[in-house]
Structure 1
């Protein structure tokens, strides 16, 4: 290919100085056809093939290659054909004798031709996009996989992020409630992918059937929803970009916190500080551009949505209620009764006849057993023989004086001493465990080895007075009525003559 300098010299010699094409060809040492081409273009046009090159060996297999590429679109990205794999299959299965290079060129051109082209989008104030991401974090010294909820405001690039132990419907709805409170309003429209957390199923005409919990959330806040095409993440590219931004900036290095609540407080602060950034192509900060979003938001309702999954169940004969494969305890008085289960992100509440009878920290492991030992103490008082094998009491950490009190009670009274010890434990149903343990230790110091003594010491501590036994609590004990002494009653002890003498002397 001739250089631009040669083009300039030839064109000047012919077009300006009047040199003929024959003379120019002889002078510059090029063919006359090349001189003609140089006069047509101001600079070298580059090599251009008049017709695409066709390989006689590859042409019979082009239809087969196209079919392989079409079938790859429905396969996982990491299990699609490479050029080398197509080459091997054509050789072994169909007798292809051509080379790998010409095949690779053809595959590359076909893939470029089939790539999707996108239209730049504009975003109105008050719209939002939602998605989940995954990343690792160290919580309370343990490395765990977290699922973080992201809400992005495409018009202003405002964002909200909150992490959860699992990507469940309760976390999905709680993320909305927290995001609305963070932004101080409700977006008019929110775009989602076709997650099962929001979409129960896609109907034949493309309409979506909302999940029950998401429908309740939408009815409470009255925002409009939109769903992207299945498998097309670019439909909500803003929040997809936010998910990656959070992973690269909020999660690097791997964050460590004492609890998820502490980590989420850190995320909220990072979202606020990001508001000062001026992004590429913008002249204002994110916070300044969010004013338009805030003006378009709908107001928050007076009462926030209760982001819980509600289910019904029945307490078993062992006072256990099953929720999401895990068993949670209730007080034994509610065994065999119908209950309502409210599953939140961080806890499970169990309600019976309108009253919350149990609340547990939610566990996301499967087939786990979560029991509160206090729920079984009333039954153990009637069945003290099961104290040592009671599974709900496994892992209940009690102070050393409490264990010493049990040994002394059982050594003194046997089975009744064990029952009295269970009565001491039942004080934890109404008072802090640390206070009960203190009362036990104080009773041991005084040598008072009984339930009554521990209770009396505990109540005296609460009332800030010296320990005093309340006899009204023990009607079976004999009582002594002590009246006020009258000094004249002592006259009955003095003889009559002596009393007369004393009266005369006083007169």
Structure 2
């Protein structure tokens, strides 16, 4: 095969120096056929391509090898075999050739398949306030010394490329609601259209084309913020390519090296600061002379005005046990004793659990994301203590119960009394009717007087509750003065003379 340098020498010798073909053949050591081919074709390079590749060993096994390669490509990425394992399976079928032939054939097969499946895309452009994209990613961080895989919600405005990132322990629906509420509050508005994948917290059913059956609560959220949801084609992440690209950027810029924080609150505060700093430093990909933050500030007037927080809870029914506990998400939460015997509605928020019965709030707790944990509110069990005051000492809800200072002092003093538990239960029961502040004040007043019995404290509460009407003095009409008396000192002189 002729090299490029020899072809160039032949062309220069003939067209520039005017040498004959015979002289060129003698100087360069090539045949006349080669020189004539170079001069007549006008080509500056020749490449040899074999029309038919002889495969004496692998030829009879081509179908089996292609079948093995196709099966391997169809497996999940983590379960795919190495090419050496494919070669070993082919050897097990009777193939006697070498590994290099299998490797070359597999490389050509993969390249041909990639060319056949390659697709072209059209770049997208969005008007200000037109659309945002939403997605989740999983990142690994150290929270309070423990390695945790957090679920990170990503929101991206398609026009300005402004980003919002927040970490959660779950990907559940209440977390989706909270991420939208915090993102729109940060943006101070929403877009007219939201682009999602077919996540189960939003889409109940996928129909032909773009038709979707959206979750009822998800539709309520979209209606609250005036957003039209749009779901992508299944397994077509490029339809929301901006937020897909953001996931990779955030993973490299924010979560590498591995973060070390004390709590989710600290992590999310840090992520929000980093989002703002990144937007202020990053140039916009289309308007290179402006940053993402500047484009975001220009887009803000075009956003749909922020409609306020959406009541983003996920509701499930539950039945309280006789120990005033309701099970939700592998944990237990206490309810008021009056709620036992009838079903309640568990409203799960991103950070708390609300328990309602007939529209009345019967319990509220910070949400726990562990397993097998029990969250008590001791005040829920105070009505039960009226029947069983002895449970105050060993009841699980009352262990490590932190009371206000005056109440705690009274509790310690009553422990020495024979009926101290009963007296303390009477004082605690008064909190349900008079309020904690009033009982705390009554306990402090009793302690100042050197007493701590329940009777005295309840008496002080009764006086605070009903002080009695003020005493007023009424003068009868007959005794009212009609003429104001005038002092006359001369009368005393007349009396003195009469006595003399």
TM range (shorter): 0.7 to 0.9
1:15 corresponds to: 15
1:104 corresponds to: 103
Shift of 1:291: 5.8
Map residues 154-233 of structure 1 onto 2, 5 A cutoff: 154-203=158-207, 207-233=211-237
SS at match of 2:436: coil
Shift of 1:85: 1.4
1:59 corresponds to: 59
1:288 equivalent to 2:294? Answer yes
Shift of 1:29: 1.3
- The farther-off stretch of 218-227 and 403-412 is 403-412
2:119 corresponds to: 117
Question: TM-score when scaled to structure 2?
Answer: 0.81
Shift of 1:285: 1.7
- The farther-off stretch of 49-58 and 341-350 is 49-58
1:95 equivalent to 2:94? Answer yes
Shift of 1:186: 2.0
1:464 corresponds to: none
2:481 corresponds to: none
Q: State the alpha-carbon separation in 1 of the partners of residues 196 and 498 from structure 2.
A: 109
2:273 corresponds to: 269
Shift of 1:78: 1.6
Q: Once the two structures are superposed, what CA deviation does each residue of 1:6-44 show, in whole Å capped at 9, x if it has no partner?
A: 332221112233323332111111233432444335533
SS at match of 1:44: coil
- How many residues matched? 465
Shift of 1:51: 1.0
Question: TM-score when scaled to structure 1?
Answer: 0.80
SS at match of 1:149: strand
Q: Once the two structures are superposed, what CA deviation does each residue of 1:131-183 show, in whole Å capped at 9, x if it has no partner?
A: 01122344456553321110112332211111212111011122122222222
Shift of 1:254: 3.6
Q: Once the two structures are superposed, what CA deviation does each residue of 1:296-347 show, in whole Å capped at 9, x if it has no partner?
A: 533333x432111123333332222233343211111222133332111100
Shift of 1:241: 1.5
1:364 equivalent to 2:357? Answer no
Q: Once the two structures are superposed, what CA deviation does each residue of 1:275-295 show, in whole Å capped at 9, x if it has no partner?
A: 222145642221333367545
2:345 corresponds to: 340
Q: Once the two structures are superposed, what CA deviation does each residue of 1:389-446 show, in whole Å capped at 9, x if it has no partner?
A: 322223434699977754643433x2x321112334456663379x95x986896686
1:394 corresponds to: 399
Sort the Cα spacing of 1:395 and 1:145 in 2 relative to 1 into closer, same or farther, 3 A.
farther
Q: State the alpha-carbon separation in 1 of the partners of residues 168 and 312 from structure 2.
A: 13
Shift of 1:258: 4.8
Q: Once the two structures are superposed, what CA deviation does each residue of 1:192-212 show, in whole Å capped at 9, x if it has no partner?
A: 222111122324677432222
Q: State the alpha-carbon separation in 2 of the partners of residues 161 and 506 from structure 1.
A: 108
SS at match of 1:240: helix
2:453 corresponds to: 450
* Alpha carbons 2:69, 2:86 under 8 Å: kept: no
Shift of 1:273: 2.5
Sort the Cα spacing of 1:275 and 1:209 in 2 relative to 1 into closer, same or farther, 3 A.
same
Gaps of at least 5 residues in structure 2 are 474-494
1:420 corresponds to: 423
1:43 equivalent to 2:44? Answer yes
Sort the Cα spacing of 1:456 and 1:261 in 2 relative to 1 into closer, same or farther, 3 A.
farther
Q: State the alpha-carbon separation in 2 of the partners of residues 345 and 286 from structure 1.
A: 29
Sort the Cα spacing of 1:253 and 1:322 in 2 relative to 1 into closer, same or farther, 3 A.
same
Q: State the alpha-carbon separation in 2 of the partners of residues 439 and 99 from structure 1.
A: 94
* Alpha carbons 2:173, 2:314 under 8 Å: kept: yes
1:305 equivalent to 2:281? Answer no
Sort the Cα spacing of 1:297 and 1:401 in 2 relative to 1 into closer, same or farther, 3 A.
closer
Q: State the alpha-carbon separation in 2 of the partners of residues 34 and 6 from structure 1.
A: 11
1:239 corresponds to: 243
Q: Once the two structures are superposed, what CA deviation does each residue of 1:237-271 show, in whole Å capped at 9, x if it has no partner?
A: 21111112222222234444454334323322322
* Alpha carbons 2:284, 2:295 under 8 Å: kept: no
SS at match of 2:394: coil
Q: State the alpha-carbon separation in 2 of the partners of residues 365 and 505 from structure 1.
A: 104
